[in-house]
Amino acid sequence: MSSGPCHLSNTGDDTVIRARKLTKHFGDFEAVKGIDFEVRAGEAFGFLGPNGAGKSSTMRMIGAVSPVSSGELRIFGLDPVTDGRAIRARLGVVPQMDELDELLRVKENLVIYGRYFDIPLAQCKAKADELLDFVQLGDRADGKIRELSGGMKRRVTIARSLMSDPDILLLDEPTTGLDPQARHVLWDRLYRLKSQGVTLVLTTHYMDEAEQLCDRLVVMDHGQIVAEGSPAELIRTHSPREVLELRFVDPDNPGGPGAEINKAMSEKLDGVGARQEVLPDRILIYAENGEEALSEVHRREIEPETAMVRRSTLEDVFLRLTGRTLVD
Amino acid sequence: MAVSTPPPVRVWEHNFAIYKQVWASNVMASVIRPLMYVLGMGIGVGGLVDGGPRSGEVLDGLTYFQFFGPSMIATSAMMVLVNDALWPIHGGFKWHRVFFSQAATPITPGEIVTGVALWHFTKGLLASAGVGLVLALFPSIRSWGLLAAVLFGALTGLAFAAPITAWSAWREDTTSFPNINRFVIVPMFLFSGAFYPISQLPVWLQWFSRFTPVWHGVELGRGAVYGLLSFGQVVGHVAYLLLWCAVGMLLSRRVFADRLGN
Ligand SMILES: Nc1ncnc2c1ncn2[C@@H]1O[C@H](COP(=O)(O)OP(=O)(O)OP(=O)(O)O)[C@@H](O)[C@H]1O
Ligand SMILES: [Mg+2]
C-alpha cells in the first residue's frame, strides 16, 4: 500500500495495528524509543525481550490506556487519542499482573467484567459459563479467587478478557510463573483462539513460548526493536543451525566459577564452528553441524566435563543480538 | 439490542455486586450503631440537660433527645463514607487494581470517578436510611421530614467521600489514613453541632464548624425534621455541600486520569 511516511488510514489491507516511531517517555526516561511494527489480522505477534525492554509500556499504548508520547499508533485504523473507547471495546486485555477481584466469586468476576462492556446481564452469565468451560474451570464457577492456583487465576483472567468477543487479544506475559503443564494448557487455548480468527499480541521472556505461539515476533531490548521476523527466520538469519554446549571444571578450583577456565578454553577452541559465546558457566559453539564441531574439539584433545549438541533457538538469537542471556 | 447502561452505572454495579455479599452485616451496623447513640446520648445526656436553666433557649425549644437524634443522620453517613473512600479506593490502585481493570474497557477514568461517586451516594443513602428508620421509632421525632433528612445525609456523606477519594487515590501508601480519622474527622464530628448548638462555642471555633461540611449536614437534617430552616438557608447549605462534592470529584478525575493513563 502507498501510505506516506507519516500518514495512516484505514485502508483495505489487513493490518490491524500499525506503529511508526512509537515512543513512550516517563519523565526524562525513554522506555520505548521510536519503534515501528505492524500486526496483521489473525496472526499471533510477539514482543520478546528481557525485563525493562519496554514490552508492557508498548502493550499499554496498544491497549489505548497509556498515551503515546510521540510517533504514530493506529489500532483498527483508529487513533487511540480520539477513539480510545471504540478501540478498547474491541480489545481483550490480559495484564501482566492478575487483577481479579477477590471479593467476588470466579464467575462473578467474569460477569461484572462483561457488564463493563455493556453486555446484557443474561448474556454475560451464559458467556461466563461457556468461557469457564473453555479454560477448564467450569467446576470453579462459584469458587473463591483466593483458592485458585496461579495458573488457574491466569486462565480466569484469559476467560475474562474474552467476555467481549475481542478482535485482538493482548496478552502481557501470559504464562510467566506457571509450571510447564499449566503453560501447555494455556498455549493450547491460545491456539484455539487463533484458529477462531482472534489476533493475538503477546509479550514473553520465554523463547519456547515465542517459538510455539508466534507467527512473527520482534525482539526488544532497551526500548528498541533489534530484530524482526518469524521464529524460524530469526534463527536462520542470526544463528547457525546447531549449538554445541561445553562445560568445563577448573581443576584448581573445582567448585568455583568457571570464568577463568572458560577463558583459557575459549582460546584453545578458537576456530571451532562459526562463532563462540563464552558464558560464566559454559561455552556455546555455533555451527551448522554440531557433531562435527564436537569431533574437532576431541581432535584438539580438549576434554570438557560435559558436551551437548542442540538445535539453536531464539535464546541464541537474543544472545547474538544483545550479548546477554534473556532469563538468568 | 438492549438499552445501553451509562458507563458510571456499570462501575456502580461492580460495587453493588460486592455489597450484596456483605449487606446483612452492613445493615445491622447502620441500624444498631445509631440506636446505641440515640439511646446512650439522647436519653442519657438528655435526662441531665432537659429542664436545665438555658436548655429551652439554646435548643430551639426541642428536648435534647429531639435535638440530638436527627443529627445522627449526617454524622453516620460521614463516618461510613470516610472509610469507604479510604482503603477500598487506595486498593483499587495498589492492591486489587480494579480501576486498572475498568480502564482497560470502554469506560473512561472520568466515568469511573462518577461511578464511584454514585456508589458513595448510594452508601450514604443506606447509612442515613438506617438512622432514619431508628428515629422513626420515636414519636417525638417521627416526621415526613426524615425522608428529606436522609437525602441530605447522603449528600453530606458524598461531600466527604469525594475529596477523600482524591486523597486516597493520590497517596502512595496508607500511613496517613488513620490520622485522617483521628485528626480530621473526629474534631469535625465533635464540633459539628450534633451534640450541642455551635453557638455554645467561641466564635473562632464556630467558624471552624461552619467550614466543615458536616455542620451543614447536621443543620439540614434537624431543619428538615422540625421545619426550622428557611428555603434560602436550605439552598445555602445544599450548595455548600455540592461545592465539596464538585471539588472532590474534579480532583479525583485528575488523579484517576494520571494514575490510569501513564
Ligand atoms: N509508570 C512508569 N513510570 C516510570 N517508569 C516506568 C513506568 N512504567 C515502566 N517504566 C520503566 O520503563 C521501562 C520499561 O518498562 P516495561 O514495564 O515496559 O518493561 P517490560 O519489557 O514489560 O519489562 P518486564 O519484562 O519486567 O515486564 C522500565 O525501565 C521501567 O522501569
Ligand atoms: Mg512487562
The residues spanned by each domain of chain A are: 15-229, 240-311
Cβ separation of A116 and B107 shorter than 8 Å? yes
Using alpha carbons, select from A173, A205, A204 the residue that is nearest to residue A98. A173
- A69 ligand 1 Cβ < 6 A: no
Residue B201 lies in a domain: yes
Please state the pTM of the whole predicted model. Answer: 0.90
What percentage of residues in chain A have a pLDDT greater than 90? 65
What percentage of residues in chain B have a pLDDT greater than 70? 99
A52 sits in the region (left: phi over 0; alpha: psi -120 to 50; else beta) called left
Q: What residues have their beta carbon closer than 5 A to ion ligand 2?
A: A 55-56, 96
pLDDT at residue B91 in the model: 96
pLDDT band at A3 (very low <50, low <70, confident <90, very high): very low
Distance from CA of A293 to the nearest CA of B (A): 51
Among chain A residues, the shortest Cα distance to B261 is held by A66
Among chain A residues, the shortest Cα distance to B2 is held by A120
Contacting residues of B for A26, CB less than 8 Å apart: 262
Contacting residues of A for B10, CB less than 8 Å apart: 115-116, 118
Range(s) of the domain holding residue B246? 29-38+62-259
**CATH class, range A15-229:** alpha beta
Average pLDDT over residues B32-43: 85
CB-nearest partner of B13 from A84, A102, A115? A115
> Of the bound ligands, which one is closest to the alpha carbon of residue A206?
1
What homologous superfamily is domain A240-311 in, according to CATH?
ACT domain (3.30.70.260)
Distance from CA of A188 to the nearest CA of B (A): 25
Average pLDDT over residues B2-28: 91
Using alpha carbons, select from A124, A63, A160 the residue that is nearest to residue B13. A124
Point out the ligand 1 atom lying closest to the alpha carbon of residue A55.
21
- A116 ligand 1 Cβ < 6 A: no
C-alpha B240/C-alpha A217 separation (Å) is: 58
In chain B, the number of structural domains is: 1
Residue B161 lies in a domain: yes
Cβ neighbours for A78, distance < 8 A, ≥ 6 positions apart = A10, A86, A87
Pairwise pLDDT comparison (A33 vs A256), residue with the higher score: A33
Residue B56 lies in a domain: no
- A51 ligand 1 Cβ < 6 A: yes
**Res B218 pLDDT > 60:** yes
**Res A5 pLDDT > 50:** no
Cβ separation of B100 and A99 shorter than 8 Å? yes
- A31 ligand 1 Cβ < 6 A: yes
pLDDT at residue B116 in the model: 98
B85 contacts B161 by C-beta, under 8 angstroms: yes
Cβ separation of B96 and A101 shorter than 8 Å? yes
Average pLDDT over residues B203-210: 94
**Res B152 pLDDT > 50:** yes
Residue B7 lies in a domain: no
Contacting residues of B for A164, CB less than 8 Å apart: 105
B234 contacts B151 by C-beta, under 8 angstroms: no
CB-nearest partner of A112 from B7, B13, B97? B13
Pairwise pLDDT comparison (A173 vs A258), residue with the higher score: A173
Average pLDDT over residues A124-133: 97
pLDDT at residue A255 in the model: 67
Q: What are phi and psi of A80, to 5 degrees?
A: -60, -25
Does the ipTM surpass 0.90?
A: yes
Point out the ligand 1 atom lying closest to the alpha carbon of residue A49.
21
pLDDT band at A256 (very low <50, low <70, confident <90, very high): low
Distance from CA of B9 to the nearest CA of A (A): 9
Residue B181 lies in a domain: yes
CB-nearest partner of A89 from B14, B98, B106? B106
Question: How are the residues of chain A apportioned to helix, strand and coil, as percentages rounded to the nearest 5?
Answer: 35, 25, 35
C-alpha B160/C-alpha A137 separation (Å) is: 42
DSSP string, A253-309: STTS-SHHHHHHHHHHTTTSSSEEEE-SS-EEEEES-HHHHHHHHHHTT---SEEEE
CB-nearest partner of B10 from A63, A93, A116? A116
Pairwise pLDDT comparison (A2 vs B174), residue with the higher score: B174
Residue B182 lies in a domain: yes
